[in-house]
Amino acid sequence: MQFERARHLLRRATVSWLANGSVDGMAQGEFYANAAGTLGPLQV
């Protein structure tokens, strides 16, 4: 994780998931992160 470009997002998401069971209010699904680090639902 140390060398990932999105390591700050990964850390924030992990801490949120462990503390609340959700990330940015979303408890399930597949997500993507844009360049600003905002998570959104993955739309295929």
pLDDT tens across 1-44, in order?
556 677 888 888 899 999 999 988 888 888 888 878 788 888 87
What is the rounded distance in angstroms from the CA atom of residue 36 to the CA atom of residue 44? 20
What is the rounded distance in angstroms from the CA atom of residue 44 to the CA atom of residue 26? 18
Cβ(12)–Cβ(24) below 8 Å: no
In the block, residue with structure tokens 């993955």: 42
Beta strands at 31-33 and 39-41: parallel, antiparallel or unpaired: antiparallel
Note the pLDDT of residue 43.
81
Note the pLDDT of residue 2.
59
Token pair of 6 as six digits: 């999105």
